């Protein structure tokens, strides 16, 4: 591979990009991250990602090691160096290097790592796929509002769902769906109400989630931000997920129960159309 990778002020060829074994991000998953979509060589929803990054850092008592303007410049430089037209930029801030100790040191310098991935985000087959999901207990830690690199639970759950022949899993806590393994969950009721979990420590405040809610408002949809049960989801007229790289993707089956007509339905299509129109401006 010949990608350029950014680590703490320098660009490295991928094969030479390394971090210390004493980095707390490596030893304790002591770090946060953001994934910003790239379309036509441009960053999508940059301000939203920066605001969420700042919130995550603040919640774990960390600081951004560079100024926001410099961070934007690094992103654009990586996009140019790696010739990214469609794809993503992954950015991770860890607490930095220190001897292994559960007590968080007060004198570390945060570490910043960034790299790119090419993805055919607007491929019609990708946009028009319908997901089959199962529901499983939400075993993640209690601060899902912080976008940390602690992704073992989500990774195990998503992999298990794939091994069972499904596309993903929706997580359930106290009888109510929280979100997907790497996405926010939505349903549309038979009364054409858009329903998604309210923000709190149980879910991540998705940047795409916010944009879809804005699109729904523009379309005049009634929005209810509240918990919904597995049974309510299975009886929904439509269902979908949102994330930075999936945009808005239809869910056509939950635990074997067909949603709607087992295809992308009208409101999901219209929300996706308006969302893509807005970000492609």
- C-alpha to C-alpha distance for 28 and 148, rounded to whole angstroms: 11
**Annotated catalytic residue: which of 147, 162, 164, 277?**
147
- C-alpha to C-alpha distance for 216 and 188, rounded to whole angstroms: 11
3-state helix, strand, coil in the chain (%, to 5): 30, 30, 40
Element (H, E) at 145: none
Task: Give the position of tokens 């219209």.
Answer: 270
User: Left (φ > 0), alpha (ψ -120 to 50) or beta: where does 56 sit?
Assistant: alpha
Smallest Cα–Cα separation from 95: which of 150, 19, 25, 7? 25
Active site includes 147?
yes
**Residues with catalytic roles:** 147
């Amino acid at each position: 591979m010949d990608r350029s990778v950014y680590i703490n002020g320098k660009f490295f060829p991928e094969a030479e990009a390394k971090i210390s074994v004493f980095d707390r991000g490596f030893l304790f998953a002591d770090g946060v991250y953001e994934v910003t979509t790239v379309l036509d060589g441009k960053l999508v929803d940059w301000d939203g990602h920066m605001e969420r990054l700042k919130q995550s850092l603040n919640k774990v008592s960390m600081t951004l090691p560079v100024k926001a303007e410099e961070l934007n410049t690094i992103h654009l430089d990586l996009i140019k160096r790696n010739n990214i037209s469609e794809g993503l930029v992954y950015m991770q801030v860890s607490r930095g290097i220190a001897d292994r100790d559960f007590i968080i040191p007060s004198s570390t310098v945060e570490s910043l790592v960034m790299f790119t991935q090419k993805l055919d985000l607007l491929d019609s087959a990708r946009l028009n796929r319908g997901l089959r999901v199962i529901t499983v207990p939400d075993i993640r830690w209690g601060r899902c509002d912080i976008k940390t690199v602690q992704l073992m639970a989500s990774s195990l759950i998503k992999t298990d769902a794939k091994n069972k022949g499904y596309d993903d899993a929706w997580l359930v806590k106290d009888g109510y769906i929280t979100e997907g393994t790497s996405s926010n969950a939505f349903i549309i009721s038979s009364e054409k109400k858009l329903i998604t979990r309210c923000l709190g420590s149980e879910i991540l405040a998705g940047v795409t989630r916010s944009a879809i809610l804005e699109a729904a408002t523009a379309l005049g949809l009634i929005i209810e931000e509240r918990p919904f049960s597995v049974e309510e989801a299975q009886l929904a007229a439509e269902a979908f997920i949102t994330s930075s790289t999936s945009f808005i993707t239809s869910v056509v089956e939950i635990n074997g129960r067909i949603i709607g007509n087992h295809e992308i339905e009208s409101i999901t299509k219209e929300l996706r159309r308006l969302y893509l129109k807005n970000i492609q401006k």
